[in-house]
Amino acid sequence: MAEALTSVDRLREIALEQHGFVTARQAYDAGVSPPLLAMMVRRGRIDHVSRGVYRLGQMPVIPYAPLMQAVLWTGFPEACLSHESALDAWDISDINPDKIHVTVGAKRRVERVIPARYVIHREDLTPPEMTWWESIPIVTAGTAIRQCLETGVPTYLIRQALERSARTGLVPPAERDHLTTLLEARYDQ
């Protein structure tokens, strides 16, 4: 006979895939009502870490947890790590972002105060421009390079990303050639 899952068990199944985090919407979709969620917080079963985001205390904390939290904080299903943060995650540049960059859909509006440690970008990304890294939704390395080109990241960091992506194969040659052309266009303006 199958054993019935408790509310915490249902949340744990979600959190296992998200570095220990679960959103209020995901909890609701899993059958955990807002009052029950609030009761779990009061009883110390889960922690309320930011608006709409909870963390199961029994889960190990890993270095990438803040990145996942930032993506989930937006509350938008298409949200993904992007720009400088994605370039750093792909480890193809010595970039060291001081904020976590997340991209949401172009028409999305965040109706709350954005934490100072986050930068929210708006752009409609296509499925080929997105992927997963350490179980976190993220733009591809090529898309991260393009975004960084568009936002004025220093040329030497972009060149470094293009060179390292050639060695690692993270960016296909044709895309890398196109990005190199875009980089060179910086000097033609």
Cα–Cα–Cα angle for 42, 43, 47, rounded to 5 degrees: 65
Q: What pLDDT is attached to residue 60?
A: 79
C-alpha span between 163 and 54 (Å, rounded):
39
| Single-letter residue type at 49 | V
78-135, pLDDT tens digit by residue? 999 999 999 999 999 999 999 999 999 999 999 889 999 999 999 999 999 999 999 9
Tell me the pTM: 0.91
Listed by start position, the domains of the chain span 7-56, 65-185
18-51, pLDDT tens digit by residue? 999 999 999 999 999 999 999 999 998 899 999 9
Question: Are residues 164 and 156 in contact, defined by beta-carbon separation less than 8 angstroms?
Answer: no
